[in-house]
Structure 1
Amino acid sequence: MKTIDSLDPSSFGKVAVMFGGKSAEREVSLLSGNAVLNSLLSLGIDAHRFDPAEQAITELLTQNFSRVLIMLHGRGGEDGTMQGALQLLNIPYTGSSVLGSALCMDKIKSKQIWQTLGLPTAKYEIAVKSSFDAGSCKAIMDKLGNEVMVKPAQEGSSIGMTKVNNTQQLETAIQDAFNYDEHVLIEQFIQGSEFTVSLLNGQALPSIRMSTPRIFYDYTAKYKSDSTQYFCPSGLSGEQEEQLAELAQKAFNALSGSGWGRIDFMQDKTGQFYLLEANTVPGMTEKSLVPMAAKQAGMSFTELALAVLQTSMGNA
């Protein structure tokens, strides 16, 4: 991997930093993309903003872009759709492939694969909009322990998520989640600490523990609140840190993730870790987790942006 000291900016050609888009995470994508774009420009790289909500994808060809750094969060950018389009255009791009992106984006498919491989993940049920029976809510609550998280299958940044503790709340939360997705994950709530592990070119970065006074680590806690606390080092023992890093890599590889990403966990009060979800285009804002972990590992934000761009060198 090239370092900043040995960097030849021209080796990347003309780079499109793709951000914005039309997903529910557009606001965060704009923040991430601008931060990454400015870092690449500071290195002398020929980088340009490209917003697929405002520009046709074919303009990548007419404007002679050499590669794309994807900073689109959510649908249309993180679910394999854009990756497939770029492959058809024969333009290299950063991060996971079509398959890896699609699997990581889908919380239900992720859990099913992890469960099949014997990786630890919380008990769950699935609600499908076309066949949902509100009468099943009591049985679901009884099975999952009367405290559950309701999550649209393919939204990020905790959008559409609700924590509930009774049958009536569950029915309402599922119906609300159907506004975002036709498939909804209903997951046993794990009481404990939340952790995340960032992955970069096959290496796990130091884990981060998050703490919020809110009901859970939701959109506001992630991007808007000043009361959220981040601990990096996370406070784990050396043995636990290695265990978590190994589990993160296994989970990411199981979903065909590659290049860079992030795996989120809960740790219950016995010390058991449970996989929550995978992210293939994590946030790169001032409050984001990957830059925080990279800093703990001795890497500046600019070095991180360059490392992400370098994941495009093997992806065409």
Structure 2
Amino acid sequence: MAKNKKQHIGLIFGGNSSEHDVSKRSAHNIFDAMDKDKYQVSLFLMTKSGYILGNKDSARVFNGEPEDEVAKEALDRLDQKNPLAPIINLSEVANIDVFFPIIHGNLGEDGTIQGLLRLLQKPYVGTGVLGSAMSFDKDITKKILQLAGVTTTRYEVVTPMTSEQFTYQQLSDELGETLFVKPANQGSSVGIHKVENEEDYREGIRDAFRYDSKVLVEEAIEGPEELEISVLGNHHPIVSKVGAIKVPKSDAFYTYDNKFVDASHVEFDVPVDIPASLSEEITKMGLATYQALGLKGMARIDYLVSQDGKPYVSEVNTLPGFTNISLYPQLFAASGISYTELIDRLIQLAIEEYERQSKILYDFKPLDPKEQVIDNKK
């Protein structure tokens, strides 16, 4: 790339999930933080129906025009018989240097958009297909972490095929009187229920099945707060200071409303004052989690801490929020990395990982003694 040439960034946001509007807010913050002397930015909005709009239409929505109206106009112009219609607009800008997907939840964090960008042979910010898919599925995440020796909460998996085999009494005998019911593949606390009796359990299961065909029933860790760290890097990641989220005692847990509707009663303690031994343990667990799941670029890792001070990895977010109240950038700001520098680093990490991946062979080739091995130091 020639010196002084701006890098062309494709910012993909929106998506077909409950976090659509959150993604739009994240995209605005990322766009505002980008150094425009370094970057030219093209916008690609994925509608709630899963169609990607072109830069001009995406910019109209980005600048405040009603999304439904713009999307209808844009989709009316598309040839719906073309099987590539949902993604055809990505072809309008052929010279994208790096894609920055910030689609939270379905299609964005589950490996789908990552697979598409890999097919397009473009660098992209964040974790690859497998790491994204494993981290998005809470059941698979827990299984991997258990194999890696990382402490996580005990749970059972309920599916439509097995739902009649489980009762609240059976599960509470195994996991404790207070249980959490949650969809395996969903974000932002959607479909999550805190249950303490059979009636609430059945209602929670019924609601969770609206969002996924696999549901986790998890033990409750009744600690004072939820702790979080941010991780940045590829093969040698760095970890931020530890932050805390404190929700009102009147709320059972950190709900969707707490996160995105009214956060006025939620306290963010960044960085949080905790014993050094707990901070060290959380950092060690975070790095082990990042490595076990094969994560790249970035992740936010959430922890529950019991009353006796034992931490449990609760959830892994491979495309965390970048809104005004999102903890991922806040934690790194508290650790000495500004929002703008964070964006720069993520883009550079995307390029480094793409270059590393490009050296991997997928067809047989005799070994040349002079051939340089893949560099995993970055």
Equivalent residues of 2:183, 2:208 under 8 A apart: yes
Task: Between 63-72 and 181-190, report the one with greater CA deviation.
Answer: 63-72
Give me the whole-angstrom Cα distance separating, in 2, the residues matched to 1:217 and 1:244: 20
Task: Between 130-139 and 279-288, report the one with greater CA deviation.
Answer: 130-139
Give me the whole-angstrom Cα distance separating, in 2, the residues matched to 1:251 and 1:81: 22
Equivalent residues of 1:78, 1:105 under 8 A apart: yes
Give me the whole-angstrom Cα distance separating, in 2, the residues matched to 1:205 and 1:233: 9
Shift, 1:259, TM fit: 1.0
Q: How does 1:120-159 map to 2 (within 5 A)?
A: 120-133=151-164, 136-159=167-190
Task: Between 218-227 and 84-93, report the one with greater CA deviation.
Answer: 218-227
Shift, 1:96, TM fit: 0.3
Q: In the superposition, relative to structure 1, how do residues 135 and 87 fare at CA in structure 2: closer, same or farther (>3 Å)?
A: closer
Give me the whole-angstrom Cα distance separating, in 2, the residues matched to 1:186 and 1:195: 21
1:262 is aligned to 2:300: yes
1:239 is aligned to 2:239: no
Task: Between 85-94 and 300-309, report the one with greater CA deviation.
Answer: 300-309
Match of residue 306, structure 1, among 335, 339, 344: 344
1:103 is aligned to 2:97: no
2:217 corresponding residue in structure 1: 186
Give me the whole-angstrom Cα distance separating, in 2, the residues matched to 1:118 and 1:37: 39
What SS does structure 2 have at the residue aligned with 1:46?
strand
2:369 corresponding residue in structure 1: none
What SS does structure 2 have at the residue aligned with 1:227?
coil
Match of residue 10, structure 1, among 1, 5, 8: 5
Q: In the superposition, relative to structure 1, how do residues 30 and 73 fare at CA in structure 2: closer, same or farther (>3 Å)?
A: same
1:291 is aligned to 2:350: no
Equivalent residues of 1:94, 1:315 under 8 A apart: no
Deviations 1:3-26 (A, max 9, x none): xxxxx77353x2111101111110
Letter in 2 for 1:299: I
Deviations 1:13-67 (A, max 9, x none): x211110111111011010011101222544410121113242434333311222
Q: In the superposition, relative to structure 1, how do residues 61 and 41 fare at CA in structure 2: closer, same or farther (>3 Å)?
A: farther
Equivalent residues of 1:233, 1:296 under 8 A apart: yes
Shift, 1:135, TM fit: 5.1
1:80 is aligned to 2:111: yes
Match of residue 245, structure 2, among 182, 191, 210: 210
Give me the whole-angstrom Cα distance separating, in 2, the residues matched to 1:76 and 1:183: 17
1:227 is aligned to 2:265: yes
Give me the whole-angstrom Cα distance separating, in 1, the residues matched to 2:344 and 2:181: 36
What SS does structure 2 have at the residue aligned with 1:51?
strand
Give me the whole-angstrom Cα distance separating, in 2, the residues matched to 1:68 and 1:244: 31
Letter in 2 for 1:199: V
Shift, 1:116, TM fit: 2.2
Query: Runs in 1 of length 4+ with deviation above 6 angstroms?
Result: none
Deviations 1:133-174 (A, max 9, x none): 175332012211010111110111111111111121111101
Give me the whole-angstrom Cα distance separating, in 2, the residues matched to 1:60 and 1:197: 34
Equivalent residues of 2:6, 2:38 under 8 A apart: no
Give me the whole-angstrom Cα distance separating, in 1, the residues matched to 2:158 and 2:203: 12
Match of residue 195, structure 1, among 206, 218, 227: 227
What SS does structure 1 have at the residue aligned with 2:337?
coil
Give me the whole-angstrom Cα distance separating, in 1, the residues matched to 2:143 and 2:121: 32
Equivalent residues of 2:6, 2:40 under 8 A apart: no
Gaps of 5+ in 2: 54-85, 355-378
1:38 is aligned to 2:32: yes
Gaps of 5+ in 1: 1-7
| Aligned residue-pair number | 308
Shift, 1:243, TM fit: 1.6
Task: Between 43-52 and 66-75, report the one with greater CA deviation.
Answer: 43-52
Equivalent residues of 1:146, 1:165 under 8 A apart: yes
1:5 corresponding residue in structure 2: none
Give me the whole-angstrom Cα distance separating, in 1, the residues matched to 2:271 and 2:166: 45
Letter in 2 for 1:196: E
- Whose radius of gyration is greater, 1 or 2? 2
What SS does structure 1 have at the residue aligned with 2:314?
strand
Match of residue 50, structure 1, among 44, 49, 64: 44
